[in-house]
Amino acid sequence: MRASSGSAPDAADAAGRAGKPDTLATLAYRLLEEAIVTQRIAPGATVSEAQLSDLIGMSRMPTREAVRRLQRENLLEVRPKRGIVVRTIDPHTQLRLLAMRREVERLLARLAARECSDAQRAQLLELAVDFENAAASTDTLCFVHADKAFNELCLAACSNEFVVDTIRLLQGPSRRFWFQRAGDAQVLAESACRHAALARAIASGDADVAAAASDSLIDFGERLARSALESDRANIGPC
């Protein structure tokens, strides 16, 4: 495993806006998901359940449940008798994933705009400010926390369990792909601005505006993935 230079993740605080206390398994999931997204656990690494338990300071049972969830969300691969492998990051895979995300997240944005409560609208506006503050301070980890809280809030607001189940398969790999490129302050700033715009669009209650803001965010993600592909080709050079 590879440690990052940032501060320790505060996953419980990131999830606090959802309004429900975390179970131990949920807290273990949040801590491990963030460690994978921020690459404190490196892509391609092989780890054991005991190592993951030690990393987050929790017992084996909630860690095991978290691993199962992260496997379903395409961040981990469990290989019997060989260990737990962190999935690698690949721009081709990311583009295919974003094609799916575009359609489902457009629906999610529409549903959340229509269904969210007044309290959830207020939380969305607070998160928009959090995104903008993260960009202004170039605080990548602050953005990661706000992004996770935003994702969970939208899922809680949409009132459609099928959308929720589908989105959970897609968001983790995208968060990790983004983080790999977030050392560029311009990437952080543009991503934060588009997230803030989406949060405000959903809070407005206008489903069409929310859907357009969701498409704008996916446009940016696709541009990042294509840029990564071009960079990979340049590094390989001519055959």
Nearest to 34 by CA among 54, 55, 11: 11
pLDDT > 70: percent of the chain: 88
Q: Where are the beta strands (DSSP E) in the chain?
A: 46-47, 76-79, 83-86
What's 68's domain CATH number?
A: 1.10.10.10
Q: What CA–CA distance (Å, rounded) separates 182 from 125?
A: 23
Boundary-marking domain end, from 37, 63, 86: 86
- Asked if residue 36 belongs to a domain, the reply is yes
Neighbours of 208 (CB within 10 A): 11
Structure confidence at residue 21 as a pLDDT band (50, 70, 90) = low
Q: Is residue 3 part of a domain?
A: no
Q: Can you read off the two tokens belonging to residue 203?
A: 């809070």
Neighbouring CB atoms inside 10 A of 174's CB total 21
Kindly report, residue by residue over 53-70, the tens digit of the pLDDT: 999 999 999 999 999 999
Same domain, 29 and 65: yes
Name the one residue in this structure whose structure tokens are 């490129």. Answer: 181
Rounded to the nearest integer, the mean pLDDT of the chain is: 89
Q: What global pTM score does this model have?
A: 0.82
Residue 14: predicted pLDDT = 45
In this prediction, residue 160 carries a pLDDT of: 96
Is there a single domain that holds both residue 186 and residue 207?
yes
Residues 148-171 have pLDDT tens digits of 999 999 999 999 999 999 999 999
Q: Which of 39, 57, 86 is the last residue of a domain?
A: 86
